[in-house]
Amino acid sequence: MTLDYPDLLLGTAPDSWGVWNPTGDPLQTPWERYLDEVAAAGYRYSELGPFGYLPADPGIVREAYAARGLTLTGGAVFAALQRGREALERAKADVDAEMAVIGPNGARHVVVLPEGYTDMDGRVTGPTGLADDEWASLLGGMSELGRYLAGEHGAELVFHPHADSHVGTQAEIERFLDGTDPDAVGLCLDTGHVAYCGADNLKIVRDYPDRVRYVHLKQVDRAVMARVREEGLGFAPAVRLGAMVEPPLGEPDMPTLLEALAGLGRELYCIVEQDMYPCDPDRPLPIARRTYQYFRTCGMRVAG
């Protein structure tokens, strides 16, 4: 098959199997089954998922991935850096723990997600906006964390805008990118969260091409989003309603977006994430197979 987009490396993540929590959640697929089904669907690249979902032993992770012909692409850390110095030091410890697992396995991307302000029932649990001093802590802290990650671990911080967080709308994403060190802080462009928040994926790629260094591919359902906005629903209830859908059933338009990403002219991990928490354990694999085939026919690169 001709590779139309050889620089776009297609992978997936535990999120597409309904995994949101580290360990001990009976509603989630066991990690061994997750990896088995990732390989069965055709994928050869996978994120680690919430820290602790897979064992925090790099040797076990190495063996588990190698046995299935998989390559580890990165891991994720949540950080509330608007809270100041103590939160920054906690985040440094969290990236140290993350890198102790993914680093020996060759992964060099740490996806940093912001603190949210709604709970699993959709209730607002904190301020929906930040004061200027909190923005200063967030932006300065993220830049310092990125420099720490690069200096201590030779790895790259890629920040993930998120629904029901303080960095999700177009204005918030632009303020974040304009206020952080471009050499230390990249962007994980989560196409679904950007669309969910009403921001513009293509404008971000066009206006901040050097910042897009990692991608989460997902789409939102237009009808569900209309209900979310009309009823003022939180993100978790929206997911349970099916806010995230498999391509090409939602938005943004994937062919247009893939063309824009390919135009950046560099290798990018493009990790499929379809939020589905909680879900029937037999639901993810058929969706993963269809999604893999869809992106494969788009001409993305599926192996090294």
Q: Where are the domains of the chain?
A: 5-301
Cβ-in-10-Å burial (0-12, 13-18, 19+) of 8 comes to buried
CB-CB contact of 244 with 223 (8 Å): no
**Which pLDDT does position 24 carry in this prediction?**
86
- Round to whole Å and give the CA distance between 174 and 169: 9
CATH value of 5-301 in 3.40.50.300, 3.20.20.150, 3.30.70.890, 3.40.630.30: 3.20.20.150
**Does residue 157 have a pLDDT over 70?**
yes
For the segment 229-249, the average pLDDT, to the nearest whole number, is 97
**What confidence tier does 2 reach under pLDDT thresholds 50, 70, 90?**
low
**Does residue 121 have a pLDDT over 70?**
yes
For the segment 224-247, the average pLDDT, to the nearest whole number, is 97
**Which pLDDT does position 271 carry in this prediction?**
98
Q: Residue 126: how many CB atoms within 10 A of its CB?
A: 11
For the segment 77-103, the average pLDDT, to the nearest whole number, is 98
pLDDT tens-digit series, residues 159-179: 999 999 999 999 999 999 999
Percentage of the chain modeled with pLDDT above 70 = 99
**Does residue 1 have a pLDDT over 60?**
no
**Which pLDDT does position 198 carry in this prediction?**
97
- Round to whole Å and give the CA distance between 233 and 118: 10
CB-CB contact of 160 with 190 (8 Å): yes
**Which pLDDT does position 9 carry in this prediction?**
98
pLDDT tens-digit series, residues 10-41: 999 999 999 999 988 999 999 999 999 999 99
**Which pLDDT does position 3 carry in this prediction?**
75
pLDDT tens-digit series, residues 258-304: 999 999 999 999 999 999 999 999 999 999 999 999 999 999 999 87
Alpha carbon 30 to its chain centroid, in Å, reads 20
DSSP codes of every residue in 178-228 = HHS-TTTEEEEEEHHHHHHTT--HHHHHHH-TTTEEEEEE-EE-HHHHHHH
Q: Which residue is listed with tokens 């420099």?
A: 147
Tell me the CA distances in angstroms from 254 to 110, 143, 165, 263, one per residue in order: 24, 31, 24, 14
**Which pLDDT does position 148 carry in this prediction?**
98
**Which pLDDT does position 287 carry in this prediction?**
98
**Does residue 251 have a pLDDT over 80?**
yes
**Which pLDDT does position 304 carry in this prediction?**
78
Helix (H) or strand (E) holding 79: strand 74-79
Least confident of 2-11, 14-23, 52-61, 77-86: 2-11
Pairing of strands 219-220, 244-245: antiparallel
175-205: burial string, b at 16+ Cβ within 10 Å, e else:
bbbeebeeebbbbbbbbbbbbbbebebbebb
Quickly list H helices, the chain: 31-41, 58-67, 85-102, 132-153, 170-179, 191-196, 201-207, 222-231, 235-240, 254-262, 284-297
For the segment 87-111, the average pLDDT, to the nearest whole number, is 98
